[in-house]
Amino acid sequence: METIRKFERVLEIVEQNKRQPSRLIPILQEVQTEYRYLPEEVLTFIATSLGISPAKVFGVATFYSLFTLKPKGKYHIRVCNGTACHVKSSMGIYKAIQKKLKLHDGKETTDDMLFTVETVNCLGACGLAPAMVINEEVFGQLTPEKAERIIDGIIEKEAAYELDYHGA
Amino acid sequence: MNLVRNHILISIDSSTIMAGARAVERAFVDELLNRGLQDEVSVLETGSLGLINRGVVLVVYPEGVIYADVTTKDVPEIVEEHILKGRFVERLVVKEMPKQHVIKREKTGLLKEQPRIVLRNSGIINPESIDEYIATGGYEAASKIINEMKPEEVIEEVKRSGLTGRGGAAFSTGMKWDFARRAKGDVKYIICNADEGEPGTFKDRLILEGDPHKLLEGMLIAGYAVGAQYGYIYIRGEYVLSIERLEKAIKDAEALGLLGENIFGSGFSYHVSIKKGAGAYVCGEETALIESLEGKRGHPRSKPPYPVTEGLWGKPTVINNVETLANIPEIMRNGASWFRGYGTEKCPGTKVYTIIGHVATPGLIEAEMGTTLRDIIFEYGGGIKNGKKFKCALVGGAAGAFLGPDMLDVNMDFVSLREYSAVLGSGAILVMDEDTNIVEMLKNVLHFFRHESCGHCVPCRLGTAQLVKIIDRVADSKGKREDIDKLLRISEVMRDTSFCPLGQSLYLPISSTLKYFRDEMLSMI
């Protein structure tokens, strides 16, 4: 049932783009907005409905950095490590967040699927260096402490929500 | 029309929004309403003043006083003191007033030192109002051209202005248009490259956020001159506010008949739409960008044929950077000789720079071509932060060169820098103080290139991987003496054999690092 619903929405997106292979990138963008990542079976489905090879769709989906084939946490944290942020010690912020969320050995997403932490190249927010983006919100002029406080804020908010929702 | 005694202009751009600009705006509206001043004082939105990293920024007119780091708590005080009693809230006034923050448009006094062509309206008009753009002379050039001039005459004028591509390659804009105009084909395209991905660069973002109609007018003129029917703006997906403002600008221009079918009743039709990029640095290269627009991986094509003859869908296509196109309306409105009054003989006009890193006042400025690096860093940027010493500046983005103290007095323009094997590139100026670890910086640059290499050609794909291996080794103090020269040799081969500028341009940051800091690098071994 879940799967059928999933494909229905994908099909809608494909139809809205008139099944044009040239619109593959906008299609993938919309699908990702919908599912927050690009599931493999969806990519194959898109390929079939556009009449192009799955290899081509995977090729495009893996080429661009805004596409992801892995599920991301509810809060997708991207720490900018462009040159401007780098000179302002962006890696210190990245490491502080990793440590706080106990992410190590290349692990990017927390087990509870709440956070994904990555570094990215230049967000074009150099005026705010060092900067990070959580989902679409930009946070700038960070220090490791400030970044940790932001994470704490999210954890608290989520805990309160859980309590509201499932609490006694 | 209401007569108001004060205007409060709040910068609503990507950096001030983060600092809470919209909340401050609401606080002003509420405060004025509470005091019954809503008819006397108007609160307006505008683009960036160029002042970044300073929280919420606003200007109060007629005095033209700029306040920075304003929070909602300061709002009652500003209204009470400034608006009612005429006394400035000194603790928030931007006192240092470096040249970059002057926003008066007259060509006198301080502004003489910052002629604003591209940024003329930014921080002055409301970017979401087409009426305000028109009131400052907007679409005047387009209407005159479409009604009275032949496309060839437009191209002649652009050629005479000496305008060259501001994306970094510095090719003559007029020539490019001419090639595309002469190319055979019924369907032609104009593409605006707004996929700003050069690290340290955010000028196009602030141009688009501050004055989106200027770009549209530039594209309209380009379309008419070249004989194109369609314009595409290929923009970074992350530039949410720019995209919103452009979408509104296109809609408003269409509603007034400035875009769409039969513009000004001339029979000329031209449609502009936005294409969001999906994140790939290589798509800044024009043929890779075209591939991406066609829905493919952004691999560069081999040239020739050049896009001006065979571009998007094989049709003649002009690709111009945002800043290049934003120059066009002013050039056509004021004439080529007016434009040549700015800058140098060989490089007329201005350049928009982003000054970042260890400077006292980072920001966005527009300066004449030929301005020295010293002026940009020490006058506009307020010098090195915390009184430290200048070590070097990475000029032109990651694909640029590190420039040391001996280069401070070189004129910043495409031609002069080329003589010193440097580039103006995107206009990003990343300043580093004496405490900066140069190996770490180079490591950051090389990792960036390895990540962004598209994998299409061997020298770049393998070269970037090898360079990263070596620099990591050096940074870990596990390097060997010959590693330093190996970096240079690999990048030389890449410069000579890579398929596109991405792989070719790495030689610049590497060779310039070695020129200045060979000893520092050797000390890591």
Residue in B closest to A142 by C-alpha: B53
Q: Which of A120, A81, A115, A76 is nearest to A99 (CA)?
A: A115
Nearest CB among A24, A121, A124 relative to B239 is that of A124
| Among A75-89, B122-136, B218-232, B412-426, the range of highest mean pLDDT | B218-232
- Whether B517 has a pLDDT exceeding 60, the answer reads yes
Query: Taking residues A33-44, what's their average pLDDT?
Result: 92
- Domain stops at, among B433, B466, B493: B433
Q: Do B454 and A87 touch (CB under 8 A)?
A: no
The domain of B23 spans: 6-92
Cβ-based contacts of B52 with chain A (< 8 Å): 127-128
Q: Which of A121, A135, A137, A143 should we substitute to test contact with B (largest number of B Cβ atoms within 10 Å)? A: A121
Q: pLDDT tens-digit profile of B41-60?
A: 999 999 888 888 889 999 89
Return the closest-CA partner of residue B75 out of B102, B45, B35, B127: B35
The interaxial angle of helices B203-210 and B212-226, nearest 10 deg, is 100
In this structure, whether the domain defined by A75-166 belongs to CATH 3.40.50.300 is answered with no
Q: In degrees rounded to 5, what are phi and psi of residue B353? A: -120, 150
Q: Is this prediction's pTM over 0.90? A: yes
Domain annotation covers residue B123? no
Polymer length of chain A:
168
Q: Do A65 and B240 touch (CB under 8 A)?
A: no
Q: Is residue B99 part of a domain?
A: no
- CA–CA distance, B94 with B116 (Å, rounded to integer): 20
CA angle A27-A32-A34, nearest 5°? 100
- Average pLDDT, stretch B191-211? 94
Query: Angle CA(B23)–CA(B26)–CA(B30) in degrees, nearest 5?
Result: 135
Residue A130: asked if its preceding bond is cis (omega within 30°), the reply is yes
Q: Is residue B409 part of a domain?
A: yes
Predicted-complex ipTM score? 0.90
Beta-carbon separation of B196 and A124 below 8 A = yes
Question: Does residue B332 surpass a pLDDT of 50?
Answer: yes
Nearest to B15 by CA among A117, A141, A90, A82: A141
Question: Could you count the other beta carbons within 10 Å of the beta carbon of residue A35?
Answer: 14
Are residues B503 and B453 in contact, defined by beta-carbon separation less than 8 angstroms? yes
Judged against a pLDDT cut of 60, whether residue B367 lies above it is answered with: yes
Boundary (domain end) residue, out of B92, B115, B150:
B92
Query: Which has the minimum average pLDDT: A74-78, B94-98, B270-274, B461-465?
Result: B94-98
In a domain, B110, yes or no: no
Residues B414, B164: contact at Cβ < 8 Å? yes
Q: Which of B377, B292, B330, B62 lies closest to B207, judged by CA? A: B330
Residues B465, B365 share a domain: no
Distance from CA of A168 to the nearest CA of B (A): 36
pLDDT of A167 above 70 = no
A92, two tokens: 């210190």
pLDDT in the model for residue B319: 98
**Cα B169 from chain centroid (whole Å):** 14
Which of helix, strand or coil describes residue A136? Answer: coil
Residue contact A66–B278, C-beta within 8 A:
yes
Q: Are residues B86 and B221 in the same domain?
A: no
Do B256 and B191 lie in a common domain? yes
Q: pLDDT tens across B480-493, in order? A: 999 999 999 999 99
pLDDT of residue B143: 96
The pLDDT of residue B2 is above 90: no
Residue B286 · residue B190 · CB < 8 Å: no
Handedness of CA B233, B237, B241, B244 (dihedral sign): positive
Judged by phi (left if over 0) then psi (alpha if -120 to 50, else beta), residue B196 lies in beta
**For chain A, which residues lie within 8 Å of any Cβ of chain B, measuring from their own Cβ?**
20-26, 28-29, 56, 59-60, 63-67, 81-84, 86-88, 121-129, 133, 136-141
Cα B47 to Cα B122: distance, rounded to the nearest angstrom = 5
Q: What is the CATH number of the domain that holds B516?
A: 1.20.1440.230
Query: CATH number of the domain that B397 lies in?
Result: 3.10.20.600
In this structure, the answer to whether residues B245 and B361 fall within a common structural domain is no
Residues B250 and B308 in one domain: yes
CA distance A165 to chain B (A): 30
Let me know if residue B101 belongs to a domain. Answer: no
* pLDDT higher than threshold 50 for residue A168: no
One-letter amino acid of B253 = A
Residues in chain B within 8 Å Cβ distance of A66? 237-238, 278-279
Kindly report the CATH number assigned to the domain that includes residue B202: 3.40.50.11540
Nearest to B238 among A60, A81, A123 (CB): A123
Q: What is the pLDDT of residues B132-182, one digit of tens each?
A: 999 999 999 999 999 999 999 999 999 999 999 998 888 999 999 999 999
pLDDT score for A4: 61
Looking at the fold, whether B312 and B378 belong to one and the same domain comes out as no
> What does the pLDDT read at residue B4?
85
B68/B175 same-domain check: no
Strand B390-395 relative to strand B350-357: parallel, antiparallel, unpaired? unpaired
Q: How many CA atoms lie within 13 A of A118 on its CB side?
A: 18
Q: Are residues B186 and B262 in the same domain?
A: yes
Strand, coil or helix: B189: strand
Question: Please, are residues B103 and B113 in contact by the beta-carbon 8 Å criterion?
Answer: no
B174 and B209 fall within a common domain:
yes
Q: Which two tokens stand for residue A123?
A: 């967000």
B11 with B29, same domain: the answer is yes
- The pLDDT value recorded for residue B109 is 31
Going by pLDDT thresholds of 50, 70 and 90, the confidence category of residue B122 is confident
Q: How many CB pairs under 8 A join A and B?
A: 125
Answer with the one of B301, B322, B340 that is the final residue of a domain.
Answer: B340
Enclosing H/E stretch for B33: helix B21-34
From chain B, pick out residues whose CB is under 8 angstroms from the CB of A82: 199-200, 448
* Residue B271 backbone phi and psi in degrees, to 5: -120, 135
Q: Which of A21, A26, A83 sits opposite B199 (nearest CB)?
A: A83
List chain A domain ranges: 2-63, 75-166
Q: Which residues of A touch B196 (CB under 8 A)?
A: 124
B482 falls within a domain: yes
Residue A24 has pLDDT above 60, yes or no: yes
Q: How many domains does chain B have?
A: 4
- Residue B236 in this model has a pLDDT that exceeds 80: yes
Q: Determine the Cα–Cα distance for residues B221 and B227; give it in Å rounded to an integer.
A: 10
Q: Same structural domain for residues B471 and B380? A: no
Separation CA A67–CA B278 (nearest Å): 7
Retrieve residue B241's tokens: 């506010």
**Mean pLDDT score, B186-193:** 97
Residues belonging to chain B: 525
H helical segments located in A70-143: 83-87, 90-100
Q: Looking at the domain covering A2-63, what would its CATH class be?
A: mainly alpha
